[in-house]
Amino acid sequence: MAKVMAVNAGSSSLKFKLYEMPEEKVLCSGIAERIGHEDGIFGIKWAGQQDKKVVPILDHAEAVRLLVEALIEKGIIKSMDEISAVGHRIVQGGKYFSKSELFTKDTEDKIESLIPLAPLHNKAHLVGFRAFKKILPDVTSVAVFDTAFHQTMEPEDYVFPIPYEYTEKYDCRRYGAHGTSHKYLSEMGLKYLPGVEHPRIISCHIGSGASITAIKDGACVATSMGLTPLGGIMMGTRTGDLDPSVMNYLCKCTGKSVEEMYQIFNKESGLLGVSGVSNDSRDVSQAVKEGNPRAILTDKLFVRRIADFIGQYFVRLGGADLIIFSAGIGENAPEYRQKIIDEIAPALGVEIDEELNASLRGKEALLSTPNSKIKVALIPTDEEVMIARDTYAYYLKK
Ligand code: ADP
Q: Taking 90 as the threshold, does the pLDDT of residue 119 lie above it?
A: no
Ligand 1 center from residue 124 Cα (angstroms): 23
* Nearest CA owner, ligand 1 atom 7: 328
Give the position, in ligand 1's atom list, of the atom nearest the Cα of 236.
Answer: 14
Integer angstrom CA distances of residue 247 from 103, 225, 228, 255? 38, 18, 16, 11
Beta strand spans in the chain (E): 2-9, 14-21, 25-33, 37-46, 49-57, 83-90, 101-102, 140-145, 200-206, 210-216, 219-223, 322-326, 365-366, 375-378
Mutate to test the pocket of ligand 1, among 230, 332, 357 (most ligand atoms within 8 A of CB): 332
Ligand 1 center from residue 138 Cα (angstroms): 37
Q: Taking 90 as the threshold, does the pLDDT of residue 11 lie above it?
A: no
Ligand 1 center from residue 331 Cα (angstroms): 8
Distance CA 131, CA 199 (A): 41
Q: Is 335 in the pocket of ligand 1 (CB under 6 A)?
A: no
Q: Is 229 in the pocket of ligand 1 (CB under 6 A)?
A: no
Q: Taking 90 as the threshold, does the pLDDT of residue 12 lie above it?
A: no
| Identity of the amino acid at 228 | T
Residues taking part in catalysis: 146
Residue 69: its pLDDT value, please? Answer: 93
**SS3 at position 328:** helix
The tens digit of pLDDT for each residue in 298-341 reads: 999 999 999 999 999 999 999 999 999 999 999 999 999 999 99
In which band, very low, low, confident or very high, does the pLDDT at 1 lie, cut at 50, 70 and 90? confident
Which residue in 76, 102, 87, 36 sits closest to 67, CA to CA?
76
Rounded to an integer, the average pLDDT of 78-99 is: 95
Mutate to test the pocket of ligand 1, among 120, 206, 281 (most ligand atoms within 8 A of CB): 281
Rounded to an integer, the average pLDDT of 125-135 is: 92
Q: Is the dihedral of CA 111, 240, 202, 154 positive or negative?
A: negative
The tens digit of pLDDT for each residue in 347-361 reads: 999 999 999 999 999
Minimum mean pLDDT among 30-39, 218-227, 306-315: which range? 30-39
Distance CA 214, CA 195 (A): 20
Q: Is 227 in the pocket of ligand 1 (CB under 6 A)?
A: no
DSSP letters spanning 136-161: STTSEEEEEESSGGGGG--HHHH--S
Ligand 1 center from residue 5 Cα (angstroms): 24
Beta bridge partners of 9: 14
Residue 295: its pLDDT value, please? Answer: 98
Q: Which residues contact 103 (CB under 8 A, 6 or more apart)?
A: 88, 129, 133, 141, 142, 143
Kindly report the CA angle at 180 between 333 and 28, in degrees rounded to 5?
Answer: 80
Ligand 1 center from residue 381 Cα (angstroms): 12
* Nearest CA owner, ligand 1 atom 14: 280
Q: Is 280 in the pocket of ligand 1 (CB under 6 A)?
A: yes
Rounded to an integer, the average pLDDT of 45-67 is: 94
The helix-helix angle for 334-348 and 293-316 (nearest 10°) equals 50
The helix-helix angle for 281-289 and 334-348 (nearest 10°) equals 80
In contact, 233 and 301? CB cutoff 8 Å: no
In which band, very low, low, confident or very high, does the pLDDT at 398 lie, cut at 50, 70 and 90? confident
In which band, very low, low, confident or very high, does the pLDDT at 297 lie, cut at 50, 70 and 90? very high
Mutate to test the pocket of ligand 1, among 204, 237, 329, 335 (most ligand atoms within 8 A of CB): 329
Distance CA 265, CA 112 (A): 25
Give the position, in ligand 1's atom list, of the atom nearest the Cα of 279.
Answer: 14
Residue 10: its pLDDT value, please? Answer: 85
Count, residues in the chain: 398
* CB atoms closer than 10 angstroms to residue 302: 27
Give the position, in ligand 1's atom list, of the atom nearest the Cα of 209.
Answer: 3
Q: Taking 90 as the threshold, does the pLDDT of residue 238 lie above it?
A: yes
Ligand 1 center from residue 291 Cα (angstroms): 22
Residue 112: its pLDDT value, please? Answer: 96
In which band, very low, low, confident or very high, does the pLDDT at 257 lie, cut at 50, 70 and 90? very high
Q: Is 329 in the pocket of ligand 1 (CB under 6 A)?
A: yes
Ligand 1 center from residue 206 Cα (angstroms): 8
| Identity of the amino acid at 118 | A
Mutate to test the pocket of ligand 1, among 280, 303, 339, 379 (most ligand atoms within 8 A of CB): 280
